[in-house]
Amino acid sequence: MPTVNIYEAKSQLSKLVDLASSGTDVVIARSGHPVARLTSLHQKEKRKYSLGLLEGKGWIADDFDAPLPDEILAQFEGR
């Protein structure tokens, strides 16, 4: 999000409005402190999500959460 000072915003307002209308918010600052945001009035298109899209496309072993064999557990623990 670009930040411009008020003087620059006054002299380049048309360019900044074009930038905002394309979807990029512009912060306007006074003495280095943000005071306003120039943004588009058009709502951004919301992405549609489908829950369960990968359902049934993978599997987990029946013993997935079974205790590890002693020799593998020893390696994890640095023994």
Q: Which CATH number fits domain 3-38: 2.40.50, 2.60.40, 1.20.120, 3.40.1620?
A: 3.40.1620
Mean pLDDT confidence for 48-60? 84
Summarised one tens digit per residue, pLDDT across range 3-52 is 999 999 999 999 999 999 888 999 999 999 999 999 988 766 677 778 88
Give residue for tokens 């411009």.
4
* Residue type (1 letter), 59: W
**What is the predicted pLDDT for the residue at 79?**
84
Q: What is the pTM of this model?
A: 0.52
Q: CB-based burial of residue 63 (10 Å sphere; 0-12 exposed, 13-18 middle, 19+ buried)?
A: exposed
Q: Domain map of the chain by residue range?
A: 3-38
Q: Report d(CA 16, CA 24) in Å as an integer.
A: 9
